[in-house]
Structure 1
Amino acid sequence: MAKDYVEKAKEWAVINVSGKDRCGVISDISGVLARNNVNIIDIGHTVIHRMFSMFMVVDVSQSSVSYRELKGMLCGLGKKLSLDVEVNRLEDGVDVTSRGSQGKSHYVLSVIARDRVGMVYDISKCLFDEGVNILRITLVARDKLITIEMLVDIGARSASDVGRVLTGKGGLLGLDIVFLREDVFKREKRLVVFDMDSTIVDAEVIDEVAKRAGIDSEVKALTEQAMDGVIDFKESLRKRVKLLSGLSESVLREVYGGLRLTTGACELVRALKVQGYKVALVSGGFTYFTDRLNDVLHFDHVYASKLVIKDGKVTGEIEGDIIDERRKGEIIDELMGEYGLVREQVVAVGDGANDRQMLQNAGLGIAFNAKDVLKKVSSGSISKENLVGILDVLGIKD
């Protein structure tokens, strides 16, 4: 089969067209091919700052004119249109050693950072050092935020090894890296699930409450232990809430009034909603805050633990389920069932150990400004100032 493919490829030609963009270029070139019974095998084109570039692979085996005549027609058209046209035979055939497994070693690498000189060099050098081949590269600018999207072939390398190395090197270079198998990347995403604390809002809410209660050091220590996975989240939360016993509800109101959304959070959630995504907030925090936040951002689903308040005072108890790591993972599965989705259509974004199962149960798990314990199970990580870059990872340009 590979031999037959090589023989067929010897009757193919490559056409490169470049120049100032104008309406009808593709129609003009493809018209010459169609009129002379030349079939297009593959095609790709792009326009960058009004400059047009197109690449075609065509089958000339059934052409009604000779290869030399066809080349003359195409180059003549190029001169007429003020375009550079090159036509070359694939005389030596093509490399088909990986054709049988095409796509299995293909991954999409999204690199997100504030614009600076040398970004493309930095990431391409990392890929070269790891023996990873770049098949396609595009760049998207969102104000000062740049996303470089690359289709790469990792060959026989372990995807987890490549992802780990790239994420590590990216961190040292100030580049956020998301690394996803091509078929998963291409699958249409329909559901995005966010954590709240230090993800949608720029704070650990219970720590802010504790500051006003004068017990911030004790609560913050328990929070960090839970986020790092040192102690069980449920145990940590119960201990923290117990320390809040007797606190006035007015303190909670003050804390909510002082909360700030993470930069880009509002734009991100609204853009997802406009594009028809279902968006959920799944928090280990409290309904007192998630319900009020939902009045602003209008999530489709909100899950959180309920802090018991009686006579205007926090009792130090939690009513009902605690939204721990296990429960977050279950919620992902329940939402997939409700909407008839598969994992590849689900995105999860979180920052701590309590989000591990949530990220693992999603097709695309993004560790946001996260602890190392979460980065290890994620598809990639995004830093605090680049939250809105998730839109570019999902291919949402506006």
Structure 2
Amino acid sequence: MDGTLIRGSAAAVEISRQLGLERETGELERAFAARELTPPRFAALACELWSGLTEEHIAAAFDGAPWMEGIREVWADIRARGERCAVISLSPGFFVERLLDWGADTAHGSRWPAVPFRDPVDPAAILDAHAKVRIADELCAEYGLGRADCVAYGDSMSDAELFAAVPVSVAVNADHHVRDVAAHAYTGTDLRAAYELVR
């Protein structure tokens, strides 16, 4: 989702804008990208930083994010073909799951504490890159599919393991971690054009 469906941004960045904490969250994002923070540690620090987060902030962050064009149309076409669309993201589930209303069949994100944050982060509930493959495998089993039936879309190193697991992948506005290993690459603002590469 981050960087793939949201152009040049991420759920954490959009939430931080609503809270006026862009600089502080940016520091966490940079440390995470440099692998100085694990996903659970990032989540724990973000929960501390976002102590004032409300459902209203989340809704405003979601609605104001720079989404790719054509997301709903792509997912409607996928479903019309009798296929499935899953969103798997390391970002908080409370943000990712809002994409179900746009037509995703399933949406999986890290399970953060309920908002407003009162409970500690459960490290086991925070997803990592390997979890994307695990969840994809679980969904394949549920739908009676195999990895050979899958197409993966992504933009960064958290998608590299998934790209290696499936035969067809599309790097969307991607960095070198996945662009160099993807079957296809797209740079732009419209998911429909990326989808056409494999449709």
Match of 2:194 in 1: 390
Q: Which has the higher strand share?
A: 1
| 2:130 paired residue number | 326
Contact 2:28-2:42 at 8 Å conserved across structures: yes
Conserved 8 A contact 2:157-2:178: yes
Alpha carbons of structure 1 residues 343 and 268: separation in structure 2 relative to 1, 3 Å: same
Q: Is 1:222 matched up with 2:25?
A: no
1:198 partner amino acid: G
Q: As a proportion of its length, which structure holds more helix?
A: 2
Question: Where does residue 375 of structure 1 map in the other structure?
Answer: 179
In the alignment, the residues of structure 2 paired with residue 292 and residue 198 of structure 1 have an alpha-carbon distance, to the nearest angstrom, of 17
Say which of 184, 188, 213 aligns to 2:19. Answer: 213
Partner residue, 1:301: 106
Cross-structure match for 1:165: none
Residue 300 of structure 1, CA deviation: 1.7
Tell me the amino acid that sits aligned with residue 264 of structure 1. G
The structure that has the greater radius of gyration is 1
- Report the 3-state secondary structure (helix = DSSP H, G, I; strand = E; otherwise coil) of the residue aligned with 2:111: strand
- Residue 227 (structure 1) shift: 4.1
Residues 84-141 of structure 1, C-alpha deviation per residue, up to 9 Å, x if partnerless?
xxxxxxxxxxxxxxxxxxxxxxxxxxxxxxxxxxxxxxxxxxxxxxxxxxxxxxxxxx
Correspondence for 2:82: 276
Matched, 1:314 2:117: yes
CA contact (8 A) 1:198 1:262 kept: no
Asked if 2 retains the 8 angstrom alpha-carbon contact of 1:264 and 1:388, the reply is: yes
**Separation (CA, whole Å) in 2 of partners of 1:257 and 1:292:** 10
Give 1:238's aligned residue: 44
Mapped to 1, the partners of 2:13 and 2:194 lie a distance apart of 27
SS where residue 348 of structure 1 aligns? strand
Q: Give the residue type in structure 1 aligned to 2:179.
A: K
Percent of paired sites with the same residue: 23
> Once the 2 structures are TM-superposed, how far is the Cα of residue 210 of structure 1 from its aligned partner?
1.3
Secondary structure of the corresponding residue to residue 323 of structure 1? coil
Letter in 2 for 1:341: L
2:62 to 256, 276, 285: 256
Structure 1 residue 264: deviation in Å? 2.2
TM-score for the superposition, normalised by structure 2 = 0.84
Give yes or no for the alignment of 1:200 onto 2:5: yes
Q: Displacement, 1:316?
A: 7.3
Structure 2 letter corresponding to 1:391: Y
- Aligned partners of 1:226 and 1:353 also within 8 Å: no
Alignment counterpart, residue 169 of structure 2, candidates 356, 360, 365: 365
Partner residue of 1:45? none
1:19-98 matched pairs, under 5 angstroms = none
Structure 1 residues 379, 227: closer, same or farther in 2, change over 3 A? farther
Q: Is the Cα contact below 8 Å between 1:303 and 1:323 reproduced in 2?
A: no
Q: Give the number of aligned pairs.
A: 197
1:260: Cα distance to partner? 4.4
Q: Which amino acid aligns with 1:209?
A: I
TM-score, normalised via structure 1 length:
0.45
Distance 1:386 1:230 in 2: 33
Contact 2:3 2:155 in 1 (8 A): yes
Give the 3 Å change call, closer, same or farther, for CA 266–208 of structure 1 in structure 2: same
Answer yes or no: is the 8 Å Cα contact 2:151–2:166 preserved in 1: yes
Structural RMSD (CA): 2.4
Match of 2:53 among 223, 247, 254: 247
Give the Cα separation in 1 of the matches to 2:148 and 2:171.
17
Structure 1 unaligned blocks of 5 or more? 1-195
Residue 218 of structure 1 aligns with an amino acid whose one-letter code is E
